Amino acid sequence: MKPLAADRSESAFEDGKPAYTATQAAAEANRCLYCYDAPCIKACPTAIDIPTFIRKIGTGNLRGSAKTIFDSNILGMSCARVCPVEVLCVGDCVYNHMGVPPIQIGRLQRYATDAAFDKGWPLYEAGPDSGKSVGLVGGGPASLAAAHRLRMLGHAVTIYESRPTLGGLNTTGVAPYKMPAARSMDEVEWILSIGGIEVQTGVSVPADLSWAELERRHDALFIGIGLGPDSRLGAEGEQLSGVQGAVEWIEEMKLGLVDLSTVRRALVIGGGNTAIDAVRELRGLGVPDVRLVYRGQEEAMSGYRHEWLAARKEGVSAHWGTQPVAFRGEGRVQAVRCLKLDADKRPIPGSEHELEADLVLLAIGQGKLASLVQDLVGVGVSGGRIQADSRGATGRLGVYAGGDCVNGGKEVVNAAAMGRDAALAIHEYLSLGA
């Protein structure tokens, strides 16, 4: 894999939730009630035994705590940082109903998993050779979770990734104040340390390697190709310099240097979590005037409320009920022409106006990559998503799928769960003598 560049714009950001000290972790762990039928477990897509790992922190058994986490979620280190715990495990803590601050589960999970990484505890080893081989297309969280579990079960695995690095959006897309790219790469190396996971980067399927060839090489396949490029508006002037996809820009910022020296006014179009990440990152990199432009109202935005409130505190403003219709500029964007929309998102007559901008990021979704599997007869596609059952099985024997290409774009923890469960299903399939 290609190493990360030494100079990256993301390095300007500090840790948004600093790590606990040993004293802080013990104090927080000892607040846990160790609930019977704990709702926090049900709220976790990977069903980590949260009360048990917290209890082990409280008793000083950090190694046991980390293993409890990783047994359910091998990406527990990154999930401790990037999971929206406010709407998952922490949001379901029983303390929320008692007028008491909920247990800071994510920060405790980070404390235990960081210890495992820093101390290099060898918690897992590959199982006895099964004689079977699995090819995994895509090197993001779903494929990494599947690959590690398959190696524990003794199967040979090869990951094929079109990019020069693994980790998917953990590496290229996560807000740096949550997790920098270097920490994602630490996780990748830790997962690969189980041994026997072959990695082939710079390989695009099916452009460089056909599905037919992959099926000849392997006894089963897992597809974890994620999502495609940023969606575009199709509006006049969208080709101007300074109009860019938000996911593309975030990747450039995380893996290299972005030049914002001439940017004084930036607009981010969209109302989801990518849009909120982008406005916070622009403000963090010193852009004076950063605004969100969303066609709906504030209460209807799909981005997490707590993230938007943080953006507002950092000086981000918003234009609600506003639809961009064209971009103006000479070579580079200078303004965005917009219309105001009513409550039913219909244009309001006479509402046309311009918003000046030196940079515009489009965060209106990502394209789907399901067209890449059109040669795999039996693999169903609906709405651009690959169709798979709850354990990742597609309509083609021996072909499984998981992550964003199936769920349309959820959290890292969802991808980790899907990869893990698909690996178990693949193991059952291979054990039947396929």
Task: Say whether 76 sits in a helix, a strand or coil.
Answer: helix
Q: Do domains 133-228+367-431 and 243-362 have the same CATH topology?
A: yes
Where helices occur in 286-396 by DSSP H, the ranges are 305-313
Instruction: Dump pLDDT digits (tens) for 70-108.
Output: 999 999 999 999 999 999 999 999 999 999 999 999 999
Domain boundaries, given as residue ranges, for the chain: 16-119, 133-228+367-431, 243-362
Measure the CA–CA gap between 282 and 291, rounded to whole angstroms.
Answer: 10
Measure the CA–CA gap between 179 and 406, rounded to whole angstroms.
Answer: 25
Q: How confident is the model at residue 1, as a pLDDT?
A: 84
- Yes or no: say if 46 and 420 are a contact pair by the CB < 8 Å rule: yes
Mind giving me the DSSP string for 84-136? Answer: -GGGTTGGG-GGGGTTSPPP-HHHHHHHHHHHHHHHT-----PPPP-S-EEEE
Q: Which parts of the chain register pLDDT below 70? A: 433-434
Determine phi and psi for 388, rounding to 5 degrees. Answer: -145, 155
Could you tell me the CATH superfamily of domain 243-362?
Answer: FAD/NAD(P)-binding domain (3.50.50.60)
Region 133-228+367-431: CATH code: 3.50.50.60
Determine phi and psi for 274, rounding to 5 degrees. Answer: -65, -40
Measure the CA–CA gap between 226 and 415, rounded to whole angstroms.
Answer: 10
Measure the CA–CA gap between 293 and 391, rounded to whole angstroms.
Answer: 38
% of the chain residues with pLDDT over 70:
100
Region 16-119: CATH code: 1.10.1060.10
Q: How confident is the model at residue 433, as a pLDDT?
A: 67
Instruction: Dump pLDDT digits (tens) for 315-334.
Output: 999 999 999 999 999 999 99
Question: Could you give the C-alpha distances from 321 to 293, 344, 361, 434, in angstroms and in order?
Answer: 8, 10, 18, 55
The label of the residue with tokens 């006894």 reads 219
Instruction: Dump pLDDT digits (tens) for 118-136.
Output: 999 999 999 999 999 999 9
